C-alpha cells in the first residue's frame, strides 16, 4: 500500500460502476495513539475507519458521516467518523475481560445494531440502520446498500493492526448499471485478497484486478486523523450534570477536567465557566463564542 493516507476513485469507461480505494496509515495509527486497544478492537476500528472514509467520499455536502456499532456483549460501542474532507477519528468501548479474539464482528455485536448517521453542517440529519448480517462489517454494509439504496455493492475492508485499507465497487445510483457489467466487474473484484488490499499500491491493484478493462484512477485526495473537539462543545456536554454537582467538583478539585475521548485533549473549567453554562446565555468566559 504505497498510497498512504489517501482516497482515490476508480473510473470505468463505458460501465456505470464506480470504485473507491483508500489506505489509512498515519491516519489509523494517530487515531488509535491515545488508546491501548487489544488487537481485535484495533482491527475492527481500522475497518470501521476505512469504511467511514469510503462512505464519506459519496457525501455531496459539507458535514460528517458517523458509522456506529452498538452491542450489549463484550463490545459496547465502535465508532468511526469522517468529514466530507476525510478527516477521521474513531473510538471504542468494550469489556476487555469478555473479549474473544476469535469471534466475528457480527457475533461480537450480537443483539446490537450498526447505524450510519449523516450530519450535514446545514440541514436535516439522516440515520440508517444496517442489518447485522454475515460475518463482517463489509457484509453488513453490502446488505445495507442492497436493501436501503438498492445498489449492488462489493466492499473489501482490511486491517492488520498497523494500517487499514478499503475497496468499494458499486453500481452508480442514477444509471442502475447493466447486470452483465456488474456481474463481470464484481467477479474480478471478488478475487482481491486481503494481503493485496493492504500491500499493493493503487495502480498495481487496479492492474491486478482490471487490466483488461478501460479504467483509470482519479486524482487522489488526502485522508487524515483530525479531532475537531472544542472547549465550547466540551463545556456544553457537561449539561447532563447538575450545576450544583459541577460546582462541588470545581470547589474540591479547583476545576472540572474533561478529556476528549477521541484525541485525549484535556479541557479545564472553573466555577465561572459552570455558572455561565447554566446562565441564560450559556456562553462561558473563555469559550470560542466570546473570542
Ligand atoms: Zn478531541
- Give tens-digit pLDDT for 200-253: 999 999 999 999 999 999 999 999 999 999 999 999 999 999 999 999 999 999
287 Cα–ligand 1 center, Å: 16
8-state DSSP, 133: -
pLDDT of residue 142: 95
Q: Is the pLDDT of residue 274 over 50?
A: yes
33 Cα–ligand 1 center, Å: 12
267 Cα–ligand 1 center, Å: 10
Residue-range domains of the chain with CATH: 6-225 (3.55.30.10), 231-290 (3.90.1280.10)
261 Cα–ligand 1 center, Å: 7
Look up residue 138 and give its three cell numbers.
Answer: 463489509
269 Cα–ligand 1 center, Å: 16
Q: Which of 11, 17, 4, 68 is nearest to 181 (CA)?
A: 17
pLDDT confidence tier of residue 152, bands split at 50, 70 and 90 = very high
Q: Is the pLDDT of residue 162 over 90?
A: yes
258 Cα–ligand 1 center, Å: 11
Q: Which of 163, 138, 179 is nearest to 15 (CA)?
A: 179
pLDDT of residue 88: 98
264 Cα–ligand 1 center, Å: 6
Q: Is the pLDDT of residue 138 over 60?
A: yes
53 Cα–ligand 1 center, Å: 18
Average pLDDT over residues 178-197: 94
229 Cα–ligand 1 center, Å: 4
Average pLDDT over residues 53-60: 91
Look up residue 65 and give its three cell numbers.
Answer: 458521516
Q: Is the pLDDT of residue 178 over 90?
A: no
pLDDT of residue 115: 95
DSSP string over 43-106: HHHHHHHHHHHHHHTT--SSEEEEEEEE-SSSEEEEEEEEETT-EEEEEEEE-GGG--TTS-HH
266 Cα–ligand 1 center, Å: 8
79 Cα–ligand 1 center, Å: 14
Look up residue 36 and give its three cell numbers.
Answer: 491501548
Alpha helices in the chain (DSSP H): 26-32, 39-56, 105-108, 137-148, 179-189, 194-199, 202-210, 231-236, 243-253, 271-277
pLDDT of residue 3: 74
Q: Is the pLDDT of residue 119 over 90?
A: yes
208 Cα–ligand 1 center, Å: 39
88 Cα–ligand 1 center, Å: 11
Interatomic CA distance for residues 24 and 3, integer angstroms: 9
Look up residue 32 and give its three cell numbers.
Answer: 488509535
165 Cα–ligand 1 center, Å: 23
Interatomic CA distance for residues 24 and 290, integer angstroms: 37
Which H or E run contains 11?
A: strand 6-12
Q: How many CB atoms lie within 10 A of CB 60?
A: 7
pLDDT of residue 59: 85
pLDDT confidence tier of residue 284, bands split at 50, 70 and 90 = very low
187 Cα–ligand 1 center, Å: 41
pTM for this structure?
Answer: 0.90
Amino acid at each position: 500500500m504505497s498510497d498512504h493516507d489517501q482516497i482515490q476513485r476508480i473510473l470505468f469507461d463505458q460501465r456505470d460502476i464506480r470504485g473507491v480505494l483508500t489506505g489509512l496509515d498515519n491516519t489509523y495509527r494517530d487515531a488509535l495513539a491515545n488508546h491501548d486497544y487489544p488487537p481485535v478492537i484495533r482491527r475492527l476500528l481500522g475497518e470501521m475507519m476505512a469504511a467511514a472514509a469510503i462512505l464519506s467520499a459519496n457525501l455531496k455536502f459539507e458535514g460528517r458521516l458517523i458509522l456506529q456499532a452498538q452491542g450489549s456483549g463484550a463490545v459496547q460501542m465502535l465508532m468511526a467518523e469522517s468529514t466530507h474532507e476525510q478527516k477521521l477519528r474513531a473510538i471504542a468501548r468494550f469489556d476487555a475481560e469478555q473479549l474473544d479474539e476469535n469471534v466475528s464482528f457480527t457475533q461480537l455485536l450480537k443483539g446490537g445494531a450498526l447505524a450510519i448517521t449523516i450530519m450535514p453542517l446545514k440541514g436535516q440529519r439522516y440515520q440508517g440502520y444496517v442489518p447485522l448480517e454475515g460475518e463482517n462489517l463489509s457484509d453488513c454494509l453490502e446488505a445495507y446498500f442492497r436493501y436501503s439504496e438498492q445498489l449492488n455493492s462489493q466492499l473489501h475492508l482490511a486491517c492488520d493492526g498497523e494500517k487499514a485499507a478499503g475497496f468499494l465497487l458499486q453500481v452508480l445510483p442514477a444509471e442502475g448499471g447493466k447486470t452483465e457489467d456488474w456481474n463481470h466487474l464484481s467477479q474480478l473484484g471478488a478475487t482481491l485478497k486481503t494481503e493485496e488490499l493492504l500491500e499493493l499500491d493503487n495502480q498495481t491493484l487496479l492492474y491486478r484486478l482490471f487490466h483488461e478493462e478501460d479504467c483509470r484512477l482519479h486524482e487522489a485526495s488526502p485522508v487524515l486523523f483530525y479531532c475537531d473537539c472544542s472547549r465550547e462543545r466540551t463545556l456544553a456536554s457537561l449539561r447532563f450534570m447538575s450545576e450544583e454537582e459541577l460546582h462541588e467538583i470545581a470547589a474540591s478539585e479547583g476545576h472540572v477536567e474533561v478529556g476528549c475521548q477521541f484525541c485525549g485533549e484535556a479541557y479545564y473549567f472553573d466555577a465561572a465557566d459552570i455558572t455561565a453554562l447554566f446562565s441564560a446565555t450559556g456562553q462561558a468566559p473563555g469559550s470560542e463564542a466570546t473570542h
